[in-house]
Amino acid sequence: MIRIGTRKSALALWQAEQVKSALEKLGKQCQFIFIESEGDQNQHQPLYAMGIQGIFTKALDSALLNHSIDIAVHSLKDVPTALPEGVQLSSVLPRGSFSDVLVLHPKFNEWTGTATIGSGSLRRKAQWLKKFPNHKVENLRGNVQTRLNKLSNSYWSGAIFAQAGLERLELLKKPYEVLDWMIPAPAQGAIGICSLSTTTSLLSSLKDINCESTSYCVAVEREFLKTLEGGCSAPIGALAILSKNKLHFKGGLFHPNGTVSFVIEETINHQDFTNPGKYFAEKILVQGGKELMVQINKEK
């Protein structure tokens, strides 16, 4: 019996069901073990005020290390690039949509010069303010349905969501706009499965349900994030798309208020690079990203 650790939210359960279904097709028996995270307990502070590293994953990591569960299922964008000793990312399912969407208020009429948008993400806030410096971004926390309800009861023009989450819960209804100009979070739309590196009996099954192309692309994005951050959080977006031997990458580092940004967009032969994520990140750092990271950390 494989014990699948998951959070209790509707989206987390949807993701865990995908993993359970994939493993059951291999003849494995599974059961859910529900774990509450720090991010679930605190629905009021902005994510970036809580110290974003691992707030949705620490409790599941602890359950793995305590042998209370065998695998942990995550929205991979929530998983820190540095995992606890003994825990590894063992499998990634085929990726859903990586885009962000703006869900408009039900009574939205037209844009004004001083519109207000809801989002709990510093990455989304930074990119929105970069494009719309006269707008205001208000904190928005909670599960997907809670955030949609808050939007409906607000004075805001709209709120930003991950398209994959809304689609998975069949909540993506008009009016909304796909923000194809916004660089998504590294690994956005991907479901990651973590396990103990010592649980060798599980690794072959997890490898069987792993999507190699998704796994490669999110590894590039996460390495980009890891190289830029150096242990400190900042508004960073990254998207890698693999087509045959071509890797198209777009990544960005942003000041939280949107005033300064460094963006890279490049297509390479992925076979020519042993670590493309690091290569792209180092280009950003040379352009001025290193100084921006120092500035962001001083302002915290």
By annotation, the residues acting in catalysis are 78
Closest CA to 189 of 92, 48, 281: 92
Cα–Cα nearest to 80, from 199, 211, 192: 192
Interaxial angle between packed helices 276-284 and 212-229, expressed in degrees from 0 to 180 and rounded to the nearest 10: 30
Distance CA 148, CA 140 (A): 10
- Which residue carries 């409906």 as its tokens? 152
Burial level of 204, CB count in 10 A (0-12/13-18/19+)? exposed
Please state the separation of Cα 72 from the chain's center in Å: 16
Separation CA 5–CA 196 (nearest Å): 13
